[in-house]
Amino acid sequence: MTFSEQLLQELADAGGRIVKSGSGPELEKWPSRVAAARRSGRIPETKELYGGWCRGGYEIKFIDIPAWRLATLEPIPVLTRLARPHTAVRAMQNEPQPLGLTKPVQGRALRLIQALITATEAKGHSSSAGQTGFAPPSHRRRTASPHFTITAQGQTVGFLVLQEQDRTEHVATEKELAAAKKDSWVRIPRFDYTPSERLRFVLNGGQPHRASEWADTPDRPLEDQLAEIAQEVTLRGEVAERRRLDEIEAARQKRIRWEAAMKEARVQYTEAYRVRCFEAQEAAWRHATRLAEYVSAVRTRVETMPPGQTRTEAEAWIDWAAARVERLDPLNTPPRLSDIPEPRADDLKPFLGHWSPYGP
């Protein structure tokens, strides 16, 4: 039994995950053994073999291949000529140098774009032209404004169409050699770059799945990769839609928690308000009791005074003071729960913790 077979059998017996611990050369061999197991052709079709360093050593496990990678993609046909170009493609055609490409590749690039836009719009996506008549400088080849965009479920994906360059060794001319000999700062380039007929699509926007770039290769032209690019746009749109729905649900749950907090804050505010009223009543009773004692002491004093104007005035004051004390004493009215005024935002703040009274 080979190392690969032993490893895959051990993984199957362990439920799909093992961690190799230890140190030294034996542990360092596991990445190459995992790579050999991947090449063995014995891994289940719906699984991938993962290997990576972890705190306990080297982790090896099976992970499920996403369903979108197992889907069978229908090829997207590419027209031999543009009879009815899309609006975005027509905008490119009207440029003196569409997409900044050389003439030998312009027609093919426009047909590829037409096929991609047609296929994605058939799935409900929308497309529009961008800056259709420019080639981004080399330092912005992957960050420049898009030539066109495709929007899937609210997620806009920008596309740049780039022309690959062929590199050849530069043969210095006599003029360059003379200039370099004369001035030390003159640098003769090492390579010459010429436009090739190979194209590259660069995607920006959304969460990548398969990749963010597709290019012509000797065994696989872009025509054979359009289905993957169209699927990539759809996948990014699906992620954006799931994220949007998750955000809506998160906002809904947050509002529910906020409303519960506001309801509890109102309950606590009501209780606190009634406690304040209760304490105010107790203070008013004590105040009235002290005043009543004072009025009683005054009455006792006045009763010893001889009849006359002074006593008459004192008795009048006693009548007024006694009536005033009676009105101040809360015990003279039946007790009842206080009416609760509608709370202001600042009234609720002490009972809301980290929540705002103005909204979630």
* Domain stop point among 243, 259, 289: 243
77-86, 135-144, 173-182 — most confident range: 77-86
Q: Are residues 96 and 178 in the same domain?
A: yes
Residue type, 241: E
The pTM assigned to this predicted structure is 0.76
pLDDT on residue 137: 85
Do 92 and 60 reside in the same domain of the chain?
no
Q: What is the pLDDT confidence band of residue 235, given thresholds at 50, 70 and 90?
A: very high
| Residue 279: CB atoms within 10 Å | 10
Lowest mean pLDDT among 176-190, 230-244, 294-308: 176-190
The answer to whether residue 253 is domain-embedded is no
The answer to whether residues 158 and 149 touch, using CB atoms and an 8 Å cutoff, is yes
pLDDT at site 74: 96
Mean pLDDT of 256-265: 97
Mean pLDDT, the chain, whole residue set:
93
> Phi, psi at residue 149, to the nearest 5°?
-130, 150
The bridge status of strand 155-169 relative to strand 191-204 is: antiparallel
Q: What is the mean pLDDT of residues 318-332?
A: 91
pLDDT of the residue at 197: 95
Half-sphere exposure of 164 (CA within 13 A, CB side): 14
Does 76 reside within a domain? no
Q: Which residues of 124-157 are buried (b: 16+ CB within 10 A; e: fewer)?
A: ebebebbebeebbeeeeeeebebbbbbbbbebbb
Tell me: pLDDT of 142 over 90. Answer: no
- Rounded Cα distance between 201 and 80, Å, is 20
- The count of domains in the chain is 3
Cross-strand partners of 331: none
Q: Which two tokens stand for residue 15?
A: 């439920």
What is the structure's pLDDT at 5?
87
Q: Is the pLDDT of residue 1 over 80?
A: no
Sequence-distant (6+) residues with CB within 8 A of 261 are 352, 353, 355
Same domain, 234 and 319: no
Write out the residue range of the structural domain in which residue 291 sits: 270-351
- Give the domain-ending residue among 17, 35, 65: 65
